Structures are given as C-alpha cells and as structure tokens.
C-alpha cells in the first residue's frame, strides 16, 4: 500500500510537470500479470522518461516534495537517478528514475522511448495517466534486468523469476509472436531464453508454460548472437562487452573514465559506506574490482575469513580442526568469528582479502601444473563428453 501510494504521488508530480513516462517492473507488472496486485511485492518504484533533461526536471520536482537525490555516476555508466524519502521513522521509499530502458550499457539502446510508449498499456488502477510497458516489451525488459543483475554479481530474487510464469498465464498467441519477433530482431533471444530456462529450473517446466516453438526459435537465434549468455556471471567478460557496446572510440574512452572515477554519492550508495570519503571509497572499489578480476566470489571470502580468524575456545572441536563440519554451519559461523578477531568487533578485512587472493592463485597454479590424462583415440579433446582416460 505504501509503494502504491507513493506511485500515485509520483504520477501526480509527472502530470503537473507535463512529463510523460512509463512505469517499469514490479508496480506495472502487478497491475495486469497477477490476479491481485498485492501478490507482486515491490521494493521501489521504477519509471522511464524520454530524455535526461526530462529526468533532471522530474528529479527537481520530486526533491521539492521531500525526496533526496543521489547524484548519478555519469551519463554513460549510470542511466538512472536514485531518489528516496523517509515517509516514517526508519521507513524509506526509493524511486529509480530511468532515462534509458535499462541501467546497463549492453541493453540500454535496444529500445527507444517512443516505440515503448507506442505499445504501452494503461494502468487505470494507479491513475488516469498511468501507463506501463506492453506485454512483449515487459517480458523482454524483465529478461534484460535479469541479465544485467547477473552481470554485476548481484542476487537474483525469486519474485523476478516468478514473473515469467505470471506472464505465461495471461499471454495470448499474439503476445508470444510479438515477443519472438522483438527478441530475435534486437539480439535478445539468448537473454530471453536464459531467463525462461532459469524460471523452468526453479519452478518446473510444466508450471512455466512457455510455447515450445518459441523456445526453439529463441535457441536457434541465440546461436548467432555476439553475447554469450552462459558467461553473464563472468565479470571480466561482461566488462569487455559493455566497453565494446559503445559505438565510437571517444565514447569508449569516456565510458572507461566514468567507470574508473565515479561520483562519491554513487560509490557510497553502492558499497553502503556513507562514513567514508572519496578516496576511501575508491580504495574499496579498486579492491572489489581486483577481487572480481581474479574471480573471487563472496563465498570464497567467507570461507577464507573463517580460516584466517582464530576460533574461540568454545567452538566445536571440528571447527577448531579447520571446520570439517557442514558447509552451511561453517559459513554461518564465519561472520561472528571474523568480528571477534579484532577488538571492537571490526572484521579483519585486509588479511581476509589477501588470504583469499593467495588461495585463489594457488588453485590456479595447481590446475596448470596438474598432469593431463592420456586420451585414447584420435581427434578427441578433454572437453568432449565421450573421451576415455587410459588406465
């Protein structure tokens, strides 16, 4: 109810300023893809406007009504503005103000505002001027958001995957045909197929009733696309793809500069460290980028912190021997142990980072020096499923 009330307030401000816009994601999808809008939870409000000037104007109007603006990092990197307002003590409402369809350079230019508005649908429950993406565009937007979330290493929420079976229950034959046409034309067949398969793996293929001819067409078209969907979690690969997505050399240079030196507000929001200055946040950014470049995951850091910190005397014997117990219990103990390793409850972040880095380097060295098996037959490689190692 709170998000819905703030959405109406946002639409009222847009109407007074004569700024057309489209609601995205949860609030819009809930109005037509779910039997009851309350079944689709939303943590924030996403709205798309035509240009950055319109976004600046709308952000100024919202700040006059009590919202606080977090400055974006750059016009090529941060394609949205974040505003929030405290509606009650400790209760905040956030608005993500988009000037592109998605906050990712890989997908931001796939659709224009005018073509999205041309196929948009009315959302009368939210207001007379409320409009959202059409069914096919909403489906593709959900898939692009899923891919962009994987690319930055964030968690995929279950409600995002559940949108796919919700779409499938209300889609008509015309909607499926339009979805297939748009996905193939805009080079998004692999992204759409990837999220469909992720939803089917989570809820079951019978529950996610997507037409077989659609998945077949998407799979065939995905073979000819430049983006490898199986590498969406590969941070290095996705950074290169985002860099190459810029059409000219000057834009690529400006994009690289904005990635290396973002604004202080952007980094403070991203890393949740409002107490640090600019250079302190730059240090966190460099360390995070270095960890991602080496392929260190958050789980590896958690395990490393458990091994680095001294175990309290009250810990179980298995934990004092190196945590030979269950993996879940070891990971859950890593936070408390790391916090107890330094006076004042502050974790040993520096030693944890370097221990994880050394552990990763050792694993890579072992893989390179490990003797390769001798293969029987000719023309087969270790990557094939049918190869046989000699005894």
Residue 256 banded pLDDT, cuts 50, 70, 90: confident
Judge whether residue 356 has pLDDT over 80: no
Average pLDDT over residues 225-234: 91
Average pLDDT over residues 109-118: 95
Provide the pLDDT for residue 372.
45
pTM, two decimals, is 0.71
304 close to 297: Cβ distance less than 8 angstroms: no
Provide the pLDDT for residue 126.
92
Provide the pLDDT for residue 384.
37
Most confident of the following: 5-19, 238-252, 267-281:
5-19
- Give, in degrees to the nearest 5, the angle at Cα 291 between 288 and 295: 135
Query: pLDDT digits over 76-105, tens only?
Result: 667 788 899 888 888 889 999 998 998 888
Average pLDDT over residues 320-325: 39
Residue 290 banded pLDDT, cuts 50, 70, 90: confident
Check residue 380 and give left, alpha or beta (phi > 0: left; psi -120 to 50: alpha).
Answer: beta
């Amino acid at each position: 109810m709170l998000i819905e009330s703030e959405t109406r307030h946002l639409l009222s401000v847009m109407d007074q300023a004569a700024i057309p816009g489209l609601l995205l994601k949860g609030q819009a999808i809930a109005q037509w893809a779910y039997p009851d809008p309350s079944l689709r939870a939303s943590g924030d409000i996403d709205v798309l406007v035509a240009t950055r000037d319109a976004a600046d104007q709308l952000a100024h109007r919202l700040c006059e009504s009590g919202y606080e603006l977090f400055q974006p990092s750059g016009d090529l990197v941060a394609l949205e503005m974040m505003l929030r307002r405290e509606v009650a003590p400790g209760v905040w409402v956030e608005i993500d103000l988009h000037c592109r369809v998605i906050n990712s350079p890989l997908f931001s230019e796939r659709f224009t505002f005018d073509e999205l508005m041309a196929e948009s649908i009315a959302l009368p429950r939210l207001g007379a001027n409320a409009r959202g993406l059409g069914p096919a565009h909403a489906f593709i937007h959900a898939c692009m958001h899923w891919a962009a979330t994987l690319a930055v290493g964030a968690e995929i929420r279950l409600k995002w995957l559940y949108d796919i079976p919700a779409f499938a229950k209300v889609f008509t034959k015309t909607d499926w045909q339009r979805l297939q046409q748009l996905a193939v034309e805009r080079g998004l067949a692999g992204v759409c197929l990837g999220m469909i398969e992720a939803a089917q793996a989570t809820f079951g293929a019978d529950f996610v009733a997507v037409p077989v001819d659609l998945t077949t067409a998407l799979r065939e078209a995905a073979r000819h696309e430049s983006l490898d969907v199986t590498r969406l979690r590969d941070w290095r690969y996705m950074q290169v793809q985002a860099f190459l997505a810029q059409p000219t050399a000057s834009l690529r240079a400006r994009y690289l500069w904005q990635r290396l030196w973002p604004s202080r507000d952007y980094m403070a929001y991203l890393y949740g460290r409002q107490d640090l200055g600019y250079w302190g946040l730059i240090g966190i950014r460099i360390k995070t980028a270095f960890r991602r470049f080496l392929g260190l995951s958050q789980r590896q850091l958690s395990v490393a912190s458990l091994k680095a910190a001294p175990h309290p005397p009250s810990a179980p014997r298995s934990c004092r021997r190196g945590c030979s117990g269950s993996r879940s219990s070891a990971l859950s103990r890593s936070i408390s142990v790391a916090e107890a390793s330094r006076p004042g409850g502050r974790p040993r972040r520096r030693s944890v980072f370097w221990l994880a880095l050394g552990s990763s380097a050792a694993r890579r060295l072992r893989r390179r020096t490990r003797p390769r098996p001798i293969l029987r037959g000719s023309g087969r490689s270790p990557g094939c499923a049918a190869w046989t190692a000699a005894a």
